[in-house]
Structure 1
Amino acid sequence: MKKSALLIIDVQNGMFLEENPVFNDKLVIGNILQLIGNAKSNNVPVIYIQHNAPLGKMLEPGTKAWEIHPAITPAKRDTVIQKTTPDAFYKTNLQEVLQKLPIEHLIIAGIQSDVCVDTTCRNAYSLGYEITLVTDAHSTWDSGKLTAQQIINHHNQVLRWFADTQETKDIIFH
């Protein structure tokens, strides 16, 4: 049985602003909380990815928007990886952390379905990880042409080339 880790991508306060929250914000947070609880009760590591935007941008380090959402605040034993691009592996120590644990399977949830979740999922696959994308635990916003739900559905379908896709209720941690 391959050793797993739960990867929570960019679930930061700026994604939940009252005036423009990510689609299905409460459902996504609830599902991520369930995943975290199940992971921890099975001694599966939880790794948080935190995006660092340039000065003056919404996710600028040190700002309230940059902080990880308070409902899922990392525990002291959890790892937090800082990134500056959509790819959680690019110019970060994520690969080293995973190799030390040693992790072979990533369970991925977070924000933004069509950017950071997609990019990290594809790169993890290229690096040889087995991946499970939690289909109801990632989200995005409407675009000019597509609704957030259409974008999520599209990515759940396309990312099947790179990941096993499952709902939160079907995730089994080991």
Structure 2
Amino acid sequence: MSRTALIVIDVQESFRVRPNWQLVNHPDIAQRVDRLVRASRDRDDLVVWVLHTEPGTGSVFDPATGHVEFIDGLEPLAGEPIIRKTSHNAFTTTNLQQLLTWHGVDKIVVCGIRTEQCCETTARVGSDLGYTVEFVTEATATMALAHWSIREDATEEEILADPRTLTADQLTERTEYVLAGRFATIRTLDELTGVPVAS
């Protein structure tokens, strides 16, 4: 019997305390993800929660800093798995694949932060592992991305002024281009929840 799992990736406070959060394309990401979570629960899909951790680094992803927790408004239910990863994708450093196998999952729905990084990478690896993958771009979030050569202490204003900077919209479009028809099917919130996005 086939089953679907919603994979909620890194919707955590770590991102909101970083300066570049002001550049995020979906500041309401928790509400968007919550719509998916509620719809998934109604269908009796498995909901898997993922947190990114970098223990011992002192960064906002170090659990010791207190920021590795879900953004307010998101609350896993008892019995919903919570896994902690140290790689970009949710499979390599976790027992996610074993957990999905145990629950009979053959399709995953991906949402979370960041669109082009942990979400896209999880979708690619999931596809290579044989899962049918649906990618809900509207329920992912990302920020403008500076050119790799820009100095580390550049301000957000300097990053935005650099013509080489990719906007969140450009990153999101690129992710859809590379995933669609290869690694995943792009789905909308309305398609998966049946509830229109509030304008």
Any gaps of 5 or more consecutive residues in structure 2? 147-164, 195-199
List aligned pairs for 1:1-174, cutoff 5 A. 2-17=2-17, 19-21=19-21, 22-26=24-28, 28-55=29-56, 56-144=58-146, 145-160=165-180, 161-171=182-192
Structure 1 or 2, whichever has the larger Rg, is 2
Task: Kindly report structure 1 stretches of 4+ aligned residues shifted beyond 6 Å.
Answer: none
Aligned-pair RMSD on alpha carbons?
1.7
For 2:172 and 2:144, the matched residues in 1 are separated by 10
Whichever residue aligns with residue 154 of structure 1, its letter is: R
Any gaps of 5 or more consecutive residues in structure 1? none
TM-score, normalised via structure 1 length: 0.92
Whichever residue aligns with residue 164 of structure 1, its letter is: T
Query: How far is 1:2 from its partner?
Result: 3.2
Query: How far is 1:159 from its partner?
Result: 0.9
For 1:12 and 1:164, the matched residues in 2 are separated by 25
Deviates more, 1:71-80 or 1:122-131: 71-80
What is the percentage of aligned positions where both structures have the same residue?
28
For 2:18 and 2:2, the matched residues in 1 are separated by 40
Whichever residue aligns with residue 169 of structure 1, its letter is: D
Whichever residue aligns with residue 5 of structure 2, its letter is: A
TM-score, normalised via structure 2 length: 0.81
Query: How far is 1:172 from its partner?
Result: 6.0
Q: Is the 8 A contact 1:16 1:25 kept in 2?
A: no
Whichever residue aligns with residue 162 of structure 1, its letter is: F
Cα displacement string for residues 89-140 of structure 1 (whole angstroms, at most 9, x for unaligned residues):
1021001100000100000000111211111110000000000000201111
Which structure would you say has the larger RCO, counting Cα contacts within 8 Å and 6 or more residues apart? 1
Report SS of the residue matched to 1:72.
coil
Q: Is the 8 A contact 2:55 2:64 kept in 1?
A: no
For 2:127 and 2:9, the matched residues in 1 are separated by 16
Report SS of the residue matched to 1:117.
helix
For 1:77 and 1:63, the matched residues in 2 are separated by 26
For 1:138 and 1:18, the matched residues in 2 are separated by 17
